[in-house]
Amino acid sequence: MSEPREHADAIRVLIVEDHPVVAEGLSSLLEDYPDLTVAAIAGSVADAIATAERVQFDVAMVDFHLPDGTGADAADGIRASCPSAAIVFLSADDSDKRLLTAIESGASSYLLKSASGDEIVESIRAAAAGRNLIPAGAIADALARDREIAREHSRQAEVLSSLTPREKEILALMAEGADNRAVARQLHISYATVRTHVRSILTKLGARSQLDAVAKASQLGFHGLHQRFTRLQRAFCRLWGSLTKEGLITSGGKRRLRCARAPRPGWVPSSPPPRLQRGRRAAPAGRACRNRRQPDSCRNMCSQTAG
């Protein structure tokens, strides 16, 4: 352990911690050592930056999770005001991502909140002496794991991107518990088409069943609710299917010739001119009329032509 300094040359420590109980505990711990003194206590990133501009200190002990940012944000602001200050991170997060972020911020040490008082004091003394307590092996291992995670995320993204938009829709419905026939009804496609898409999904995901496909897609980060149509689009699809089923719209999207709405009260249809009725021409004189659908009007047309 480092030799304690005389009280006149005590290491001045800035504590950046948003939990008052933890901050008071650290302050009480440091007061028991004559070579350590608490310069100030800050509870947020903004407070830490403002304090660093008006208070002199040697080491900043920073919590990584703060109300208005991260410990890295606080470290950047502290270094801007006091470039010579050493940074010691104290956090409950032991992930490689947080450790690498602390290293990028120029931290001399990264401690967990489960560390003992002796470890905290030794880290502060080492940081004030310009030593780095983060082993090179730990840094290399964290970098290797981070690269492996990045490669895995890239592979997962490639697998999900290989799915077509229709396959993602079907997979989302499968995740909601719909079987093939229910999927066919909701998407207005045939049952055979759904089976073809399901086989393609199983192949791309390397799954042996639909349940296995849903589980693997969830592990890859597939969020079915975000891949589905919006509520308005689904409502439009249901309306379109109903209109098609009722015969109001043909499969090609053209309206039927008959009107889909009831006539207004008191409305009386006007009979078109004889030559425009149904596009039929009057029968020549002396020839029998074969229009059985409208015999009266046809006879009038024939009589007018004959006359």
Task: Check residue 259 and give its pLDDT.
Answer: 43
* Global confidence as pTM: 0.49
Task: Check residue 210 and give its pLDDT.
Answer: 87
Categorize the per-residue pLDDT at 4 as very low, low, confident or very high, splitting at 50, 70 and 90: very low
Mean pLDDT over the full length of the chain:
75
Count Cβ atoms below 10 Å from residue 200 Cβ, excluding itself.
Answer: 16
Burial-class residue 215 by CB neighbours within 10 Å (0-12, 13-18, 19+).
middle
Q: Of the candidates 72, 143, 61, which has an alpha carbon nearest to the alpha carbon of residue 109?
A: 61
Q: Of the candidates 52, 63, 65, 14, which has an alpha carbon nearest to the alpha carbon of residue 36?
A: 14
Among 127-136, 214-223, 241-250, the range scoring the smallest mean pLDDT is 241-250
Structure-token pair, residue 264: 């207004």
Structure-token pair, residue 169: 């829709």
Q: Is the pLDDT of residue 246 over 70?
A: no
Q: How many helices (H) and strands (E) does the chain have?
A: 13, 7
C-alpha 243: how far from its chain's center?
Answer: 35
Asked if residues 6 and 35 have their Cβ atoms less than 8 Å apart, the reply is: yes
Asked if residues 221 and 160 have their Cβ atoms less than 8 Å apart, the reply is: yes
Question: Hey, which of 141-145, 157-161, 184-188, 235-239 has the most confident mean pLDDT?
Answer: 184-188
Task: Check residue 16 and give its pLDDT.
Answer: 92
Percent of the chain with pLDDT over 70: 69
Domains in the chain: ranges and CATH: 7-141 (3.40.50.2300), 162-251 (1.10.10.10)
Interacting residues of 32 by C-beta distance below 8 A, sequence separation 6+? none
Q: What is the helix (H) or strand (E) element at residue 91, kind and residue range?
A: strand 86-91
Q: Is the pLDDT of residue 5 over 50?
A: no
The string of pLDDT tens digits covering residues 38-83 is 999 998 899 999 998 888 899 999 888 888 888 888 888 888 888 8
